[in-house]
Amino acid sequence: MAAPVRGSPLAVTLQAHELDLHGHRVSYRIAGSGPPLLLLHGIANSSATWERVAPLLSERFTLIAPDLLGHGESATPRGDYSLGAHASGARDVVTALGHERVTVVGHSLGGGIAMQFAYQFPERTERLVLVASGGLGREVHLLLRAAALPGADYVLPALTSRRVMNVGREVGSLLARVGLRPSGDVDVLARGFASLDNAGSRQAFLHTVRAVIDPGGQRVSANDRLALAALLPTLIVWGARDSIIPVEHGAAAHEAMPGSRFERFEMAGHMPHDDEPERFADALERFCDTTDGARLGHDHWQPLLGE
């Protein structure tokens, strides 16, 4: 697939829109035409995470990239920030836009939501794409585990101050200039924490983190249900240099998911779709071209649950 030149007038960008769902503002971005891809971002991130790869994907697909509640430009209500609630919210966006079935693409936390989406709504899911996904193992970066600690509510405003975030970005920039990759995906974490610039977003972040992580690591796991996805085409993409969620989680999930595909990007970190957008778009397009979208019923998993 020929990639448009970034920044050229021909490059397609994600266009921002809003919906009112259940009394809350939900921001989403769309682009392109063709079979629909539902793009779900990670924690303390937004639909903007897909900007580098969107011009490539939009030539073949309709892109639907919501800001999860509590993230980006969406509302930050008091309420349920569990994986199930986020999956239901994503389903509502897809429904409101008139799409019956989608290929679900989830990054980090969004991967956990994508798996929950497929589990709750198999009749709406054609394919599953997991990008450095949460929910596949215990290990996760120390800073995210720290957010689950008692008292993080009081520390987080200081950690997300503009001065602290600027220092983090400056350190990452300096290391890059001398040819060193910042350890710990410093820039990814710095940008994420910098987005928590008000009390509502900080509380939503903490509620979301604590729904899936405790001080010992990830506490929600899909590993006991991966074999159920035998009839759902699945692609797993991971950066070998990921220091937020280790690439070994992806390799183990691939072994546990019959028929799944595993793409390991040796030079990428936690954001393979951002680090190597052309390769990511090629892998995703090839996956969709060489698989038939699943046609499952809403009760598809029921006969398998007793096995």
Cβ atoms of 231 and 304 within 8 Å: the answer is: no
**pLDDT tens, residue order, the chain (307 aa):** 334 444 443 455 899 999 999 899 999 999 999 999 999 999 989 999 999 999 999 999 999 999 999 999 999 998 899 999 999 999 999 999 999 999 999 999 999 999 999 999 999 999 999 999 999 999 998 888 888 888 877 666 655 555 444 544 444 454 454 444 445 476 777 778 777 878 888 899 999 999 999 999 999 999 888 887 788 999 999 999 999 999 999 999 999 998 999 999 999 999 999 999 999 999 999 999 999 999 988 887 666 665 5
Asked, for residue 7, whether it belongs to a domain, the answer is no
Please tell me what DSSP assigns to residue 128: E
Please report, for the domain that includes residue 42, its CATH number.
Answer: 3.40.50.1820
Asked, for residue 157, whether it belongs to a domain, the answer is no
pTM of the predicted protein model: 0.88
Asked, for residue 199, whether it belongs to a domain, the answer is no
Pairing of strands 125-131, 15-21: unpaired
Q: Exposure of 7 by Cβ count < 10 A (0-12 exposed, 13-18 middle, 19+ buried)?
A: exposed
At residue 195, the pLDDT reads 79
Q: What residues does 217 pair with on adjacent strands?
A: 214
The encoded tokens of residue 204 equal 């939503």
Active site residues: 108, 242, 270
At residue 164, the pLDDT reads 46
Asked, for residue 25, whether it belongs to a domain, the answer is yes
Asked, for residue 263, whether it belongs to a domain, the answer is yes
At residue 11, the pLDDT reads 53
Asked, for residue 104, whether it belongs to a domain, the answer is yes
Asked, for residue 82, whether it belongs to a domain, the answer is yes
Q: State the total domains in the chain.
A: 1
Q: What residues does 36 pair with on adjacent strands?
A: 62
Which structural domain, as residue segments, surrounds residue 65? 16-139+220-293
Asked, for residue 80, whether it belongs to a domain, the answer is yes
